[in-house]
Structure 1
Amino acid sequence: MSVPTYAATILILGDSLSAGYGMSEEQGWVQLLRNELPQHQIINGSVSGETTAGGLRRLPGLLTSSQPDLVVIELGGNDGLRGFPPSKLKSNLTQIITLSQQHGANVLLTEIMVPPNYGPRYAKSFTQIYHQLADEYSIKLIPFFMQDIAPDKSLMQRDGIHPNEQAQATITQWMLPWITQVLSE
């Protein structure tokens, strides 16, 4: 794996999956990523319960204060859990991507999936938005990192929604090659 020699600033814009819900910040995957990439400044702009609308509201301030080289977008799960229309998800993510790119940042988009009990039509239209945006904006789409974690109860907190401390290293190793690849380009 090729690691760039320059020091990049990476902004993680996410929800509870990236904020380390239910554990200390030091235990979360973003901190473990910092340990893997000590030459880079990694800013965790993630907030538990965040929707794409909330991320969009906070993004201009985060872009101005951090001047990131890379924005990793891990948002949409709370939109899906609240049953928001996929069109609103797409509109908000489009604006987040556009604002990030206008600020000169590369963008990595993390696919999000909703639980199957939301129905196959909603789940499919929800997930397709991530693929459409990746194609439309020529950005890399990271497959949903919870796909292999969520079915394994030993990697989940009691709520069945959030990964536990044991899952954090797995998430870090899932995200690391995607991030280093974009930084190396």
Structure 2
Amino acid sequence: MLKSALGLFTLATVFFCTQLSAAPILILGDSLSASYGVDEDKGWVNLLRAKLPEHEIINGSVSGETTAGGLRRLPALLESAKPELILIELGGNDGLRGFTPQQLKENLTKIITLSQAKDVEVLLSEIMVPPNYGPRYASMFSQVYKDLANEHEITLLPFFMTQIATKPELMQRDGIHPNAEAQGDIAEFILPWVKNAL
């Protein structure tokens, strides 16, 4: 009886540990996901960890990152993290530097195809540039994300800054980055999209 009980306990422990390490998630983003100007433990990625304790969430985000930089770092991240889901939040710095929509699309296409080649589920976050860049550029920029979602049959996550950027009380002084108060809202916004993708 004791051996049977120990056997069941061992199986339960293995099952429990397996559940805790289920479906690693990789966040590949820029300053919006790298807790710029906010304590890392208060950033939305860390808050998302608390909401999904059974998943390991690896934050591969770097402030100032472009799609080209994310593409260069991706192979090593895929190898080390071995994620089952990648959330791509890149492109803002491409827009701020005036890169062409074609450059944006080429880099994001490579990021998506590299991820899919490793059987990683892709969740792509839409990115929008400030209106002062002109309606034509802004429209072409935004269209890249819609086209990629259709062409690669992946889920497009609406830009999580859309509702936050219009509220000064949720923004840092630079008018670009969300403050600490906004991080919880971002985590809540992203949570169902991640759950559905998994």
Question: More relative contact order in 1 or in 2 (CA 8 Å, sep 6+)?
Answer: 1
Whether 1:52 aligns to 2:42 is no
Offset of 1:6 from its aligned partner?
A: 7.4
Aligned residue for 2:93? 78
Which residue of 140, 143, 147 maps to 1:125?
140
Which residue of 24, 29, 47 maps to 2:39?
24
Structure 1 segments of 4+ aligned residues over 6 angstroms from their partners: none
Deviations 1:106-140 (A, max 9, x none): 00000000000000000000000000000000000
Deviations 1:16-73 (A, max 9, x none): 0000000111010000000000000000000000000000000000000011000000
Separation of aligned partners in 1, 2:46 and 2:146: 28
Separation of aligned partners in 2, 1:167 and 1:81: 22
Separation of aligned partners in 1, 2:153 and 2:101: 20
Whether 1:149 aligns to 2:164 is yes
Aligned residue for 1:178? 193
Offset of 1:147 from its aligned partner?
A: 0.3
Separation of aligned partners in 2, 1:23 and 1:153: 16
SS of corresponding position for 2:32: helix
Paired AA for residue 58 in structure 1? R
Aligned pair count reads 180
Offset of 1:5 from its aligned partner?
A: 8.8
Specify the structure having the higher radius of gyration (Cα): 2
Deviations 1:140-184 (A, max 9, x none): 00000000000100000000000000000110011000000011x
Which residue of 28, 33, 36 maps to 2:51?
36
- Superposed, 1:159-174 pairs within 5 Å as 159-174=174-189
- Between the two proteins, what is the percent identity of the paired residues? 66
Aligned residue for 1:116? 131
Whether 1:88 aligns to 2:103 is yes
| Structure 2 residue runs without a partner (length 5+) | 1-18
